[in-house]
Amino acid sequence: MDELNNHPTDGPGDDEAVYVISIASQLSGMHPQTLRQYDRMGLVSPGRATGRGRRYSLRDIASLRNIQRLVGEGINLAGIARIIELESAMANMALEVAKLRTEVDALLEQNPPKSLARRSKQSIVVYKEER
């Protein structure tokens, strides 16, 4: 059941680690050894079954496809690791900004700003040296 809408779901969720390495390999279009290497490097972190076998989620498979695209564009694995790290940091910052925005909006609603005193308008004088 879908917890939000109380509707039955058709399959596993995006984060549910259910696919064994052979299926993940087929879905991502990569060799199983490549998936193992990416796991060792920390580019993707599949779940583990009780027998320590890797279990991949749909999100993991999407990440593998993204890695494959970046490799195809000529980016080396160290560069891809950095890109993934920066994308993750950016997503975390976006969440933090959204939380802070909500807090600021709530504070502004509780304490509306008083109108600011307007300063008198001053004309701008351009200085020209006469010769």
Percent of the chain surpassing pLDDT 90: 57
pLDDT surpassing 90 at residue 32: yes
Helix (H, G, I), strand (E, B) or coil at 106: helix
Say which residue, 82 or 47, is predicted with more confidence.
82
Q: Which two tokens stand for residue 65?
A: 């496809």
Q: How confident is the model at residue 1 (pLDDT cuts 50, 70, 90)?
A: very low
pLDDT at 131 over 80: no
Amino acid residing at 42: G
Residue 45: predicted pLDDT:
87
At 5 the pLDDT is 52
What's the one-letter identity of residue 126?
V
Which of 2-6, 23-27, 37-41 has the lowest average pLDDT?
Answer: 2-6
Return the biggest CA–CA distance within the chain: 90
Kindly report, residue by residue over 93-120, the tens digit of the pLDDT.
Answer: 999 999 999 999 999 888 877 765 556 6
Q: What is the mean pLDDT of residues 36-45?
A: 92
CA dist 107 and 129 (Å) reads 51
Q: What is the pLDDT of residues 55-87, one digit of tens each?
A: 999 999 999 999 999 999 999 999 999 999 999
Q: Does domain 19-110 have CATH number 1.10.1660.10?
A: yes
- Give the rounded distance of the alpha carbon of 43 from its chain centre: 14
